[in-house]
Amino acid sequence: MASLSETLFESEMFGHVKGAFTDAKEERPGRFEVANGGTLFLDEIGNLSLNLQAKLLQVIQNREVTRVGSVKSIPIDIRLVCATNKPIQKMVYEHTFREDLFYRLNTIKIEIPPLRERREDIPGLADFFLEEYTQKYEKPFLKLNSKVIKKLCSYTWPGNIRELKHTIEKAVILCDSHTIKPEDLYLDSQTMPAMKEIESVKLSDVEKIAISKVLDQCKGNYSHASRLLDISRTTLYAKLKKYGL
């Protein structure tokens, strides 16, 4: 039996009819139906369960979808583009990804090198994300310090472009001046300051200030704040209670 999270994902992809599951109060089309006549992009295809892989294969082969809770098939005509950062061929050998689905999807293959292997792209991408988030958070005069670019280019980016995008967004939110400086970047490999520089500062104080700033920028949206802080909503609630925020 599929879990609730899997059912909800299936509903998002294929749609559902009223009463198909808890909270299914109305009929709703899925991504495949909405994309009919156009292109549908599926990210992280390697994360699909074998059950969902089988259903996706059926949709591709039959060129039709069946909404959750329904027996009626709906014809579709789409261009399907998929992406993953997982070794799909290895997963096929390990029987965690269906071989028949792999060959259905592997018509045209494009390999994009990780960000650490194309560091010349980092300054342009950083500027692109900076423009996006300075507009979103109404900080139009915010700029990147030259030392920031150097630091960005020297980082390994295990999370690739998503991590770069998230890093720039967080820096825009937390920066209090008109220039983002290296210390405004939150990177996993960031070198900690010398102890003599922080011996009078408690880690809890820094965390409290960071959470407060993020909540202020997100206007109290806990879901958005927890995503920016890289913590779950449950953890965020616990910290809000701990710091009296």
* Domains 4-105 and 192-245 equal at CATH topology level: no
What sign does the CA torsion over 90, 43, 12, 222 have?
positive
Q: Which has more confidence, 52 or 20?
A: 52
Q: What is the pLDDT of residue 4?
A: 59
> Which residues touch 237 (CB under 8 Å, ≥6 apart)?
222
pLDDT tens sequence across 221-241: 888 887 777 777 777 887 887
Confidence of residue 199 (pLDDT cuts 50, 70, 90): very low
Look up the pTM and report it: 0.61
Share of the chain above pLDDT 70, in %: 90
| Res 10 pLDDT > 80 | yes
CATH number of 115-190: 1.10.8.60
Query: For the segment 76-110, what is each residue's pLDDT rounded down to a tens digit?
Result: 999 999 998 888 989 999 999 999 999 999 888 88
146 or 41, which is more confident = 41
pLDDT band of 203, cuts 50, 70, 90: low
- Assign domain 192-245 to its CATH architecture: Orthogonal Bundle (1.10)
What pLDDT, in 10s, does the model give residues 114-129? 898 899 999 999 999 9
The sign one gets for the Cα dihedral 99, 105, 108, 112 is negative
pLDDT digits (tens, 9 = 90+) for 187-198: 865 433 433 343
CATH entry, 4-105, from 3.40.50.300, 1.10.3720.10, 2.60.40.1730, 3.40.50.720: 3.40.50.300
In sequence order, the β-bridge partners of residue 16 are: 28, 68
Domain boundaries, the chain: 4-105, 115-190, 192-245
Backbone angles phi, psi at 74, to 5 degrees: -120, 120
CA 4 to chain centroid, in Å, comes to: 21
At 56, the pLDDT band (50, 70, 90 cuts) reads very high
